[in-house]
């Protein structure tokens, strides 16, 4: 959906320098910091390749992708794609230096099994990097209280195709949940970061944008309120790294 002139003006006034897909760029920067031209990388939940920030073909020797959606085989950012699930990743033990997941954790029905599979396909000392909504932000709270058809309709209004909106359960979407999952599946936590920036879900008109702006300033006013920020970014390392 085309952005109104008013929303564009508020973007420039309140969030100068914040680009579209700023959250995906944040994850991209984390991935780039952990890979090199010889790396083997897995995009878990790669989808059809609609997020350009997840294109690492020119930065790693091997970029593979797995997704339930058969469109993954058409993803232009991958050297190799397979249709599959996180619960049964169709790759062998210790194949990858880095596994990353962009807005995937909120969909996992059995996150412990998925984390165990990620640990299995990672090399010793390998990295698992993920970006996902924090379940204690207002957006996931509303999502948990509303039906899936509402999510699809809302995202269509924001310009996202209905087929790219998938059911959410939020079982791996808090720092507490991630710490427990990491401990149970052999990961060490390098960093868990909570981030709030431009209120993407409320940039529809002046009134909703103002509400989102006030919320952003409120939760960024003190570290005590960080648990209410929208974005949860995780950097986990497989234990038993080589010296």
- The counts of H helices and E strands in the chain are 7, 7
- Give the full edge-to-edge strand order of the sheet including 96-102: 80-83, 62-67, 40-44, 96-102, 122-133, 231-238, 187-195
Dihedral angle, C-alpha 142, 146, 149, 151, nearest 10 ° = 0
Beta pairing partners, 101: 130
CA distance 12 to 195: 20
Q: For the chain, give the percent of residues with pLDDT over 90.
A: 82
Q: What is the CA radius of gyration of the chain?
A: 18
Beta carbons of 68 and 83 less than 8 angstroms apart: yes
| pTM beyond cutoff 0.85 | yes
Measured in whole angstroms, the distance separating CA 40 from the mean position of its chain's CA atoms is 20
Tell me the two tokens of residue 199: 């209120």
Place 225 in a pLDDT band, splitting at 50, 70 and 90. Answer: very high
Strands 80-83 and 96-102: unpaired
Q: Could you report the per-residue pLDDT of 160-199, keeping only the tens digit for each?
A: 554 555 688 999 999 999 999 999 999 999 999 999 999 9
Beta carbons of 107 and 170 less than 8 angstroms apart: no
Place 144 in a pLDDT band, splitting at 50, 70 and 90. Answer: confident
Beta carbons of 60 and 32 less than 8 angstroms apart: no
CA distance 96 to 141: 34
* pLDDT at 242 > cutoff 70: no
Tell me the two tokens of residue 38: 């010889």
Tell me the two tokens of residue 51: 């997020």
* pLDDT at 3 > cutoff 90: no
Domain boundaries, the chain: 5-238
Q: Could you report the per-residue pLDDT of 50-100, keeping only the tens digit for each?
A: 999 999 999 999 999 999 999 999 999 999 999 999 999 999 999 999 999
Q: Could you report the per-residue pLDDT of 102-112, keeping only the tens digit for each?
A: 999 999 999 99
Topology annotation, domain 5-238:
Rossmann fold (3.40.50)
Give the pLDDT score at 10. Answer: 95
CA distance 156 to 231: 21
Q: Please give the residue that has the higher pLDDT: either 155 or 23.
A: 23
Q: For the chain, give the percent of residues with pLDDT over 70.
A: 89
Beta carbons of 172 and 132 less than 8 angstroms apart: yes
């Amino acid at each position: 959906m085309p952005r109104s002139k008013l929303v564009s003006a508020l973007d420039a006034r309140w969030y100068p320098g914040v680009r579209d897909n700023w959250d995906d760029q944040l994850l991209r920067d984390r991935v780039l910091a952990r890979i090199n031209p010889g790396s083997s990388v897995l995009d878990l939940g790669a989808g059809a390749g609609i997020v350009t920030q997840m294109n690492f073909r020119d930065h790693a020797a091997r970029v593979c992708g797995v997704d339930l959606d058969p469109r993954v085989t058409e993803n232009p950012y991958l050297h190799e794609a397979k249709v599959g699930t996180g619960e049964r990743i169709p790759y062998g033990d210790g194949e990858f230096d880095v596994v990353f997941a962009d807005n995937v954790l909120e969909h996992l029905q059995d996150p412990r099994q998925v984390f165990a599979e990620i640990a299995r396909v990672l090399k010793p000392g390998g990295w698992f990097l993920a970006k996902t909504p924090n379940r204690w932000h207002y957006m996931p709270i509303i999502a948990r209280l509303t039906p899936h058809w509402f999510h699809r309709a809302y995202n269509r209004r924001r310009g996202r195709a209905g087929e790219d909106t998938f059911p959410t359960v939020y079982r791996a979407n808090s720092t507490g949940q991630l710490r427990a999952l990491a401990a149970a599946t052999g990961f060490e936590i390098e960093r868990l970061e909570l981030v709030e920036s431009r209120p993407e879900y409320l940039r529809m008109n002046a009134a909703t944008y103002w509400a989102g702006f006030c919320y952003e300033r409120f939760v960024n006013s003190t570290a005590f309120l960080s648990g209410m920020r929208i974005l949860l970014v995780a950097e986990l390392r497989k234990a038993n790294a080589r010296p």
